[in-house]
Amino acid sequence: MGNPLWAPWRMEYILSPKGGTCIFCGIASSSPEELAARLVVCVTDHAFVVLNRYPFAAGHLLVVPHEHVDGLEKLSAEAYTATFELVRASVTRLRAAVRPEGLNVGLNLGASAGAGIAEHLHVHIVPRWSGDTNFMPVLADTRVIPQALEKTRDYLAPFFADLPGVRLPALPHGGAP
């Protein structure tokens, strides 16, 4: 049967309790250490950027408004503008950081549209490269991510440091990765 491909971070999700409080709420008041533990890349007054804990590709980001709503039409005008300005800024910074050949940017509005967390709106930004969908998803329902999520967050956070009003998570040893 060949060698197994280990993905030990999946067990945390498999065994974790489902439901309960929203995983996106409370970010604005989190400490820098808590932000780092939750894989947050940066926080602004109205939204934040976080790595997807179960990514489709390396550098898969989520841009999330602080407002807990499940639809675009429910966001305040201020939060809507700030969220999509952060989406644009995130695209720019992701291009500089990981040099993708393309990007998927989108929302899944509602569970039937594919939203894993349907109750709190969030925008996916997925960097893409030619050939990044290889045989692994087809044969083994497995994605190969080349870097640990914490290292990816440490690498990406400094690219967001110049955003107005941004708050960054704690970085290892208090410095840049």
Nearest partner of 70 among 122, 30, 35, judged by Cα: 122
Kind of pairing between the strands at 123-128 and 47-51: unpaired
Residue type, 16: S
Distance CA 67, CA 149 (A): 25
Give the rounded distance of the alpha carbon of 45 from its chain centre.
17
Catalytic residue among 46, 60, 120, 122: 122
Is 173 catalytic? The answer is no
Closest of 115, 119, 117, 146 to residue 132, by C-alpha:
146
Residues carrying an active site annotation? 122
